[in-house]
Structure 1
Amino acid sequence: MRVSELAQTGGVTAETVRHYTREGLLQPHRDPRNGYQLYDIESLGRLRFIDCLRSLGVSLPEIKQILSWADQGTAEFIEPVPLATQRGRLYLRAQEFQVIARWIDNMNQDKMTESFSLKELIESLGTGKLVFEANDSRSDH
């Protein structure tokens, strides 16, 4: 994949891909025919991993360290993993995304009267007391 293709597939801008490449977080291969930077499926996985960590507030130097451990195949970390301090926030973010996804599902299925309102959703994100649909017994989420 070229820069623009990786960016589009990964849900970021091409400039973000270029920035991560300059920082050494992504390592493209050069196409010998034209010199273009090419990224493989592993790069897409790394990009998504980086994007997730960034959304949790993990710094680029910390991400670089985590990725270097992955590249070295390190089974045990020498120092505390930056993610360990983000564990609670990670679970909260996951719950927030689930609540928003449920709200969107209900909105798309015209079930808004059976669910919580957008205002309730926003307020619950502010208070940390997340609203859940009481009758949501579907197992596909």
Structure 2
Amino acid sequence: MRVTELARAGGVTAETVRHYTREGLLRPQRDPRNGYQLYDEEALGRLRLIDCLRSLGVGLPEIKQILTWADQDSPPVVDRHTPLAEQGRHICMRIQELQAIARWLDSIGHDDGPEAPSLKQLIESLGSEQPAIVTDGPRIGHQ
């Protein structure tokens, strides 16, 4: 894949791909015929991981360390100071929020099920200290 193809597949801009390449996070091969940078499916996986970690607030230096562990096929030194360990609670909360939104979106598309929760209920749920999981029926708290 060329830069633009990788960017499109990864849901980012071509400039983002170029930036990550300059930072050493992505390592393309060069097409000997024309010098174009070519990326494989592993690069797409790396790009998606980078994008996901960035959306969680993990910095590029920490991401570079994580990718180094992957390149060396060595287990990460996981302790309470590892970037991913620090993000663990936030990641779980984010997953629950996104699942609640996905369930709400799914429920509003079905007229044959129980009454869908309102958008206001979804917002209230996401805004509480312990966000409730919005389902097709009544609101329920985290378990």
Q: Same fold (TM over 0.5)?
A: yes
- Root-mean-square deviation (CA, aligned residues, Å) is 2.1
Residue pairs, 1:85-124, within 5 angstroms: 85-110=86-111, 114-124=115-125
Aligned pair count reads: 136
- Name the structure 2 match of 1:132: 134
Normalised by the size of structure 2, how large is the TM-score? 0.85
Moved over 3 A (4+): 110-113
Identity fraction in percent = 63
More helix by share: 1
Q: TM-score, normalised by structure 1?
A: 0.86
Quote how far apart the aligned CAs of 1:109 are.
Answer: 2.6
Give unpaired runs (5+ residues) of structure 1: 137-141
Deviation at 1:78, TM superposition (A): 7.5
Output the CA distance in 1 between the equivalents of 2:44 and 2:88.
Answer: 24
Kept after mapping to 1: 8 A contact 2:104/2:136:
no
Task: Map Cα deviations across residues 16-67 of structure 1 (whole Å, 9 max, x no partner).
Answer: 1111111111111111111111110000100111111111111111000110
Map of 1:46 onto structure 2: 46
User: 1:29 and 2:26 equivalent?
Assistant: no
Distance 1:95 1:48 in 2: 20
